[in-house]
Amino acid sequence: MIDRLEKEVDMLERHLQVLKMVIESEPIGIVKMSNETGYPHHKVRYSLRVLEEENLIEPSSQGAITTERTQEFVDELDDKLDEIVGKLESMKIEEAAEVEN
């Protein structure tokens, strides 16, 4: 159960790292991203596809570039992550058990 969540978090981390590279170095291609991150080409390609489906990047002849939606997403990202961290913190059973004892 937790393993699946951990894999999703790892994948999200990769997607966000790829997005950050596009923001900082646009246009940027798969080979350069793969070389700089150490991720295999197929994982970078998958992250780019996910980011494109979310309308956060778009392909160009020179490589991936940001879209009009990218900045809005980045502006909201920290708050969304904080919400998720709060939810995860509230799920801790150990803390609840300590309060009851």
C-alpha–C-alpha distance, residues 73 and 69, integer Å: 6
Q: 63-66 and 57-60: which strand pairing?
A: antiparallel
Taking CA atoms, 57 is separated from 14, 36, 72, 77, in Å, by 15, 19, 12, 16
Q: Which residue has the tokens 């997403």?
A: 73
Rounded to two decimals, what is the model's pTM?
Answer: 0.86
Domain ranges of the chain: 1-90
Alpha carbons within 13 A on the beta-carbon side of 44: 20
Could you read off the pLDDT of 30-81 as tens digits, one per residue?
999 999 999 999 999 999 999 999 999 999 999 999 999 999 999 999 999 9
Least Cα distance to 50 among 17, 25, 28 occurs for: 17
pLDDT one-digit tens code per residue, 7-30: 999 999 999 999 999 999 999 999
**Domain 1-90 is found in CATH 1.10.3720.10:** no
